[in-house]
Amino acid sequence: MAVEKRARRRGWAAASAAIVGCGTWLLEVPDAFAAPIPNPPADASAPGAVLVGTVLGWLKWAGLASALAGLLIGAISMGVGHFGSNYSASSAGRKWLMGGMGAAILSGLAWTIATTLYTATAP
């Protein structure tokens, strides 16, 4: 039994040494792969650029409309639950309100988040 355990340990040690050896070999990147990839600027002449802009505009308005709907549904549900002494409806209304507020915040900050991430990754 002890001999089998030692053999298994030696097998795992050999396998981990092989993995580490392959990992260090993979980390040595040749100069041909290290060359920077060209990043041409975006322009309006790209095929489908107008369609993408239109779709993004519709998504922006749909996000804001769904945030407003969440706020209204939550407010109505919370009011009905409060005045009707229904705790579960009031609790569900609070969840809708929190979801609506989160959606409104994300919709409002989407452009800022996207441009910040783009400028942070630009060379």
Give residue-wise pLDDT tens across range 5-63: 555 555 555 556 555 555 555 555 555 555 666 666 666 677 777 787 788 888 888 88
Q: Is residue 38 part of a domain?
A: no
Within this chain, do residues 10 and 55 fall inside the same structural domain, yes or no? no
- State the total domains in the chain: 2
pTM more than 0.75: no
| pLDDT recorded at residue 48 | 78
Q: What is the mean pLDDT of the chain?
A: 76
Which token pair is 102?
A: 């989160």
Selection from 97, 88, 37 nearest residue 67 by Cα: 97
Residue of higher predicted confidence among 2 and 7: 2
Task: Give the residue numbers spanning the domain of 64.
Answer: 48-123
| Residue 74 burial (10 A CB sphere; 0-12, 13-18, 19+) | buried
